[in-house]
Amino acid sequence: MAIYTRDEARTWAREKLVGAVNCTIPTFTGDLERLNETAVRHDARLAVEHGFVGSLGVSEVTITFPEYFDFLRMIKAETGDELLLVHHASFGTLELNIKAVREAEKAGAEVVLLSYPPNFYPETEQDIFDYTKAVCDATNLAVILFPMYLWGFSPRIHASDIPAGLIRRLLDTCPNIAAIKAEGGFPSIQGIIECHRHFGEEVVISMPIESELIPLSQLMPIQLSATSNHEYYGPLIPHVMELLRKGEHDRATEIYWQMHPARQVAKALSPALHGGYFINRQAWKFQGWLQGYNGGPLRQPTQRIHDQQMNAFRKGLADSGLNPSTDPFREFFVGRNPA
């Protein structure tokens, strides 16, 4: 249950959403019949040790509705108040997402990342407004609004995915929209600049793309990086955000360039792994495994990752001095806590 009211969500977010939020992807037992609780708890605990302020409980995998809330409860049971639990509002219909956000609140989630289903095809800004407001009205939790090319709103609705005028209407109507994950018009940085300029004094503006987060934070205040596969870099993103908050820009810049080999690998592999219109959670899971996270089985249908891609990810981290795991790749598919 939220410890704040809907009208207090923005004040709460300004105080608490400071730092980086990673992603926790479910892990299943070897027979794929049930969740692997030990593995889930392992990943949640390591996120705390790496300095993340929160973690997104990823729902965009093959997981049943009841299993997903068990998954959230496992994360919460392991970390308590040490890690903010973010619900991934990414189920297939508006009705399911309304039901899910209420169940997530009962399971201990403190924040909601709002997504839009693949079958949602808005033809007007009003359609997006109505969907967003319905989800926000169904919960007391702080909501992260997420302008993003994945939803397919551009160019039909607007090139920025969710235009500033529509965001203005939503903020005026939904007091629990407390943050904006500002990826509108990606890979352009205009979306985050526009959100910061128009809305930065009202809600928290998040930049999840670390290659833009580090340089932009030297020009404008960015207190939150949520949500992304920051676990690929181990504890480095939370650390560099702390440096940026302290104004230690030279040190943060050194880290930016240190990370560049790994960053270049991730960027080069992105078209093949993610195809432009979906996120390869198997690849994200492998990136985390290189830094000590569990890895382990996902259910079909799931994307694949091959040797040449795994080798490239590992070499990128090694070239960046980030000490990736040298365990045999077969161990990734079993996981560090097999069950």
Instruction: Residue 249: give the domain boundaries.
Output: 6-257
Give the model confidence (pLDDT) of 254-282 as tens digits: 999 999 999 999 999 999 998 877 899 99
Find tokens 């365990």 and name the residue: 327
| Structural domains counted in the chain | 1
**10-residue block means of pLDDT along the chain (339 residues)?**
91 98 98 98 98 98 98 98 98 98 98 97 98 98 97 97 98 98 96 98 98 97 98 98 98 98 97 86 98 98 96 98 98 98
Asked whether residue 327 is domain-assigned, the answer is: no
In whole angstroms, give the CA distance from residue 116 to residue 156. 15
Asked whether residue 133 is domain-assigned, the answer is: yes
The reported pLDDT for the residue numbered 277 is: 77
Asked whether residue 93 is domain-assigned, the answer is: yes
Asked whether residue 324 is domain-assigned, the answer is: no
Going by C-alpha positions, the residue among 72, 60, 55 that lies closest to residue 117 is 60
In whole angstroms, give the CA distance from residue 232 to residue 35. 23
CA angle 7, 12, 15 (to 5 degrees): 150
Asked whether residue 129 is domain-assigned, the answer is: yes
Asked whether residue 288 is domain-assigned, the answer is: no
Asked whether residue 298 is domain-assigned, the answer is: no
Going by C-alpha positions, the residue among 67, 22, 65 that lies closest to residue 293 is 22
Map the chain to HEC letters: CCCCCHHHHHHHHHHHCCEEEEEECCCECCCCCCECHHHHHHHHHHHHHCCCCEEEECCCCCCCHHHHHHHHHHHHHHHHHHCEEEEEECCCCHHHHHHHHHHHHHHCCCEEEECCCCCCCCCCHHHHHHHHHHHHHCCCCEEEECCCHHHCCCCCCCCCCCCHHHHHHHHHHCCCEEEEECCCCCCCCHHHHHHHHHHCCCCEEECCCHHHHHHHCCCCCCCEECCCCHHHHCCHHHHHHHHHHCCCHHHHHHHHHHCHHHHHHHHHHHHHHHCCCCCCHHHHHHHHHCCCCCCCCCCCCCCCCCHHHHHHHHHHHHHCCCCCCCCCCHHHHHCCCCC
Structure tokens given for 207 = 């930049």
Asked whether residue 175 is domain-assigned, the answer is: yes
Instruction: Please report, for the domain that includes residue 61, its CATH number.
Output: 3.20.20.70
Contact between 144 and 178 (Cβ < 8 Å) = yes
Q: Which residues of 103-120 are buried (b: 16+ CB within 10 A; e: fewer)?
A: bbbebbbbbbbbbbbeeb
Structure tokens given for 311 = 């080798």
Give the model confidence (pLDDT) of 279-336 as tens digits: 999 999 999 999 999 999 999 999 999 999 999 999 999 999 999 999 999 999 999 9
In whole angstroms, give the CA distance from residue 18 to residue 12. 11
